[in-house]
Chain A
Amino acid sequence: MKMHRGRIAAAALFLGCAAASAYAQGSATDEIARYRAMLADGNPAELVVARGEELWKTRRGAKNVSLEQCDFGLGAGVLKGAYAQMPRYFADADQVMDFESRLVWCMVNLQGMDRAAVTKNPYSGAGQRQTDLEALTAYGVEMSRGIPVNVPQSHPKERAAYDRGRYAFYMRGGPYDFSCATCHGVTGQRIRLQDLPNIAGNKPDADRAFTTWPAYRVSQGALRTMQWRLNDCFRQQRFPDLVFLSPTSVDLITFLGVNANGAKMDAPAIKR
């Protein structure tokens, strides 16, 4: 368990517990771990995955084809294991793409959908049904469950994406002068009762950061994707909007993915 300076005092204050020794360091963390374990069975993400699978296999768009022939880097029609080896370079698009970018690319090029329409509202709002993109991504990542992350760095553009992603991770900006690293580049930090993983410096944290997204976010009441997660980080940092599928988003995902290489995908997960 990590050492948390000040945790005893903070936990005691928060829990209104006079006997600080009753809530020794790490006990709140243990309880939260227990809460998470109790939620592990019966992930509502299964409902979204089921819908995603159905959408995947449905003929849609102007060309009236399904997504089944989409090439995610392992060959046309191969979805199993695809998410675990993305982002990667695609010659036909001459760019590095993460899963969500490639999904949209196939919806546009294979199925004949309009890109602007597809990407207009990628995330569902409170009380709204999950979007098609969320459902399709949920299904896509489910098909990589248990498969080791293997984000390639063989193509020069893949390496460039990683480098830019790392630069973006450490770049300070916005009114708080935050970078991703401010919260996630240090071990032992916490916001309220939330432990902040050190996803740049601690391999297990880096692994979890990549392998457990997309996830059903209980506080959102919805399944959220990696693109959403980064967009929400930018929002909390008071950065400008991280545009859906932007090069920076793909660069950051490349950085996170490569840092998690070797770890087994475990998504969709369930989170607070």
Chain B
Amino acid sequence: MNRSRRNFVQAGGVLGLMVATGLITAEEARAQQQAWNKAAFEAKSLDETIKALGGTGTAQSADITLTAPDIAENGAVVPVAVASKIPNTQSIYILVEKNPNALAAGFGIPAGTDASIATRIKMGQTSNVHAVVKADNKFYVATKEVKVTLGGCGG
């Protein structure tokens, strides 16, 4: 593979990923795969996930804004946005309580990036969605129930 410049930066925080500009080599791809937090993604519940992320528990926080529809017409695609006003937010995680594994996604927020993410997740059924924020190495959470409906004609 042809690459002009390489620049490795060890990203801080729990995720600790290798970063490169331009194309990445197979070696780098493997490194990113190995850095992936398997334990966190295989945890079943919110509590198990927090443990796998290095925490002991979560505190409810009104400074986390979790935006999601009350009713998702299809659980395959549920838009979720999380914004954190907690100072020194390091990471944002999105969990779906009743999914086979709770953790759907985690985002490491470097300095200079807004602690605000929007993405789309899958929900197997009506469930609580938890937005977890790690700030100053402490974990905070905000929760919202999202109802998932069945399609009209079974399709």
Contact = CB atoms under 8 A, between A and B. Distances in A.
Query: Do A and B have CB atoms closer than 8 angstroms in the complex?
Result: yes
A128 interface: no
B71 interface: yes
B17 to A, nearest CB: 24
Interface in B99-126: 120
B87 interface: no
Contacts of B155: 219-220, 232, 236
Interface string A248-272: 0000000000000000000000001
- Residue in B71, B72, B76 whose Cβ sees the most chain A Cβ within 10 Å: B71
B76 A219 contact: yes
B42 interface: no
B71 A32 contact: yes
B71 A39 contact: no
B152 A191 contact: yes
A193 interface: yes
Contact of A28 (B71, B76, B150, B151): B71
Contact of A31 (B69, B76, B79, B150): B69
A218 B76 contact: yes
Contacts of B76: 218-219, 221
A155 interface: no
Given A15-B147, A194-B151, A236-B153, A38 B73 contact: no
Contact of A39 (B79, B149, B151, B152): B79
Contact of B69 (A38, A192, A196, A220): A38
A137 B62 CA distance: 47
A161 B94 CA distance: 52
A192 B149 CA distance: 9
A193 B70 CA distance: 14
A39 B77 CA distance: 9
B77 A218 contact: yes
Interface string A141-153: 0000000000000
Interface in B57-98: 69-74, 76-77, 79
Nearest to A39: B79
Contacts of B149: 14, 32, 192-193
B151 A31 contact: no
Nearest to B70: A31
A36 interface: yes
Nearest to B154: A236
A35 interface: yes
Interface string A40-70: 0000000000000000000000000000000
Contacts of A31: 69-71
A6 B74 CA distance: 23
A219 B154 CA distance: 10
Contacts of A36: 73
Contacts of B150: 192-193
Contacts of A35: 69, 71-73, 79
A272 B153 contact: no
A45 to B, nearest CB: 13
Nearest to B72: A35
B74 A218 contact: yes
A30 to B, nearest CB: 9
A212 to B, nearest CB: 15
A95 B61 CA distance: 65
Interface of A: 14-15, 28, 31-32, 34-36, 38-39, 190-194, 196, 218-221, 232, 236, 272
Interface of B: 69-74, 76-77, 79, 120, 147, 149-155
12 contacts: A14-B149, A28-B71, A31-B69, A32-B71, A32-B73, A35-B79, A38-B79, A192-B149, A193-B152, A218-B76, A219-B76, A272-B74
A-B interface, 7 closest residue pairs, ranked by CB to CB distance from nearest: A194-B152, A35-B69, A272-B73, A38-B79, A31-B71, A191-B152, A218-B77
